[in-house]
Structure 1
């Protein structure tokens, strides 16, 4: 087959494999030695696959991103062979022990121990990087050709946490499953991209001159960190295709399918090809702030940090945090190709994500509707200042809320399984009772309701809905 018709990531799938090139190369080498060792879904791709040499001198992947999405590389760099580290001769160190005089010790004298000294400086052990590790080096060095910049924004996560709690409680009572913070933030990213399509672009060259590419679809790469049996870790970035047309239920399903295939080792070449932008969440392991690498062929990668209280409140107890109305926060970063995306665009992109996560553009309404949750989501409102008089007033308001559920709670009951409808009633909206989402984790006197003298408002609402509003 000719070069123009060869099965390469560039002309067959419309994009490079990016950080996944090491995995494809590893499978290609296994295919060369024993085709049966590779899933049949890869055979057509590898049958006429043409690659570039790797550090080991074997055929490897020739990324289209290197051809079209990065500046020309000087011939001196292309022809210069990569020198393998040469193991230095092992230096045998001579240990000299200092002799300590054997004299009679008095009870108050310190005990002197022999001190081992070396006659030569300690040498470091050097190991060559081969296989997957060598391909990671190539990918990271290739990413250095992309001039990047990063925008940072801290987003309050209170509303995100509370609505996720409502979603997962509903799923637990019904079909099961669990929605993660990454699902919600990823979908907020997709909504922001729909409003700002210029962020879904990549740098390339046209007739040897700089150009910008505008992909037809939004293919979101999901960074998945997998632990191997030997304790090492590997990074896979499969893509969810056509995200611009997915509602949340479809996006959630596609996301879970990709993760399941990655953990089962069932990803195919189509899962890696055509990625236009990426999402990574090192916050799951406690990272607060991340500036990820941007591979050639993409214009943007969004990094998500951990959800936690601001550092200055780490010493406060839970009750103090609730009384003060302190929210957990999440740091999001936008690392972008500065040749095609400017700082103002990136900052505006993060601002839009911030507003979406606070409920703008009917974000949570869309999610609740897609998952068929028969309630309206929690709304973002400012906390109401609490004082002695106001505390008494809020307790009375909670009592009025309990009475309202006893009177009209049945109007929100989901009694028709054939018709979906988001049910609400003004008398059952906590905002109409002078309460907000900031009161959900505060305790109020219940006058014996629920068998307890004091309960958090979140628990009070759970008991009321279980009693009057379920099927």
Structure 2
């Protein structure tokens, strides 16, 4: 993309997406920064935004820090129910996870061998009257073994008295969210915690 490219004043979102592709979000973010603090962006960006008008189907609603007004505090909406107990802890963990830096990567792997091995294991367990193994069992155990090979992935981050710390845990405690149906038909998530999972062999796990 050339920053010297000028855009028409009425540029529909579909056209912007076609022109900029997956970078359209970057254009929008830089434009917000340009409106709030023009001096914070480079000369090439300032030239690009001099006649940039992100209007059309999904026009950006842009305001500077000086124009922004605090949201009006409102009471709880009708039907609000306090979350307590274990679910409250789950909510707290989910909220905290939003502040953690994350990196996502995708891999496509063949699973035919995984499926065949699962069938063999379950055939063996059926003869021993010892239940069945799910894909979750196998994948979770593989994740624990992967952490043994790359132990740095076990480390966590915390802040104590304003100073950052890297925490190296003694064991891998694995929590897996399980969708469970209650007696009344409603559903909830339970997270069983497997302590010191790296010390277990597969039958124990």
> How many Å apart are 1:196 and its aligned residue?
0.6
Equivalent position to 2:80, from 114, 128, 135: 128
Query: Cα distance 1:222–1:208, how it changes in 2: closer, same or farther (>3 A)?
Result: same
Task: Tell me what 1:400 maps to.
Answer: none
> How many Å apart are 1:207 and its aligned residue?
4.0
Cα distance in 2, alignment partners of residues 230 and 132 from structure 1:
19
Larger radius of gyration between Structure 1 and Structure 2: 1
Q: CA RMSD in A?
A: 2.4
Matched, 1:172 2:117: no
Task: Tell me what 2:30 maps to.
Answer: none
Equivalent position to 1:158, from 112, 119, 127: 112
User: Residue by residue, what CA displacement relative to the aligned partner does 1:325-375 show, whole Å, maximum 9, x if unpaired?
Assistant: xxxxxxxxxxxxxxxxxxxxxxxxxxxxxxxxxxxxxxxxxxxxxxxxxxx
Cα distance in 1, alignment partners of residues 93 and 160 from structure 2:
24
**SS of the residue 2:131 aligns to:** coil
Cα distance in 1, alignment partners of residues 130 and 160 from structure 2:
50
Cα distance in 1, alignment partners of residues 145 and 91 from structure 2:
34
Cα distance in 2, alignment partners of residues 203 and 83 from structure 1:
35
> How many Å apart are 1:178 and its aligned residue?
0.8
> How many Å apart are 1:174 and its aligned residue?
2.4
Task: Tell me what 2:158 maps to.
Answer: 204
**SS of the residue 1:148 aligns to:** coil
Task: Tell me what 2:76 maps to.
Answer: 85
Structure number with the bigger relative contact order (C-alpha 8 A, sep ≥ 6) is: 1
**SS of the residue 1:154 aligns to:** coil
Structure 2 spans left out of the alignment, 5+ residues: 1-72
Detail structure 1 runs of 4+ shifted over 6 Å in the superposition: none
Report the TM-score, using the length of structure 2 for normalisation.
0.56
Report the TM-score, using the length of structure 1 for normalisation.
0.26
Query: Cα distance 1:215–1:158, how it changes in 2: closer, same or farther (>3 A)?
Result: same
Matched, 1:229 2:170: no
Structure 1 spans left out of the alignment, 5+ residues: 1-81, 87-125, 252-471
> How many Å apart are 1:211 and its aligned residue?
1.6
Task: Tell me what 1:185 maps to.
Answer: 139
Cα distance in 2, alignment partners of residues 83 and 141 from structure 1:
21
> How many Å apart are 1:187 and its aligned residue?
1.1
Cα distance in 1, alignment partners of residues 164 and 121 from structure 2:
46
**How many aligned positions are there?**
131
**SS of the residue 2:183 aligns to:** coil
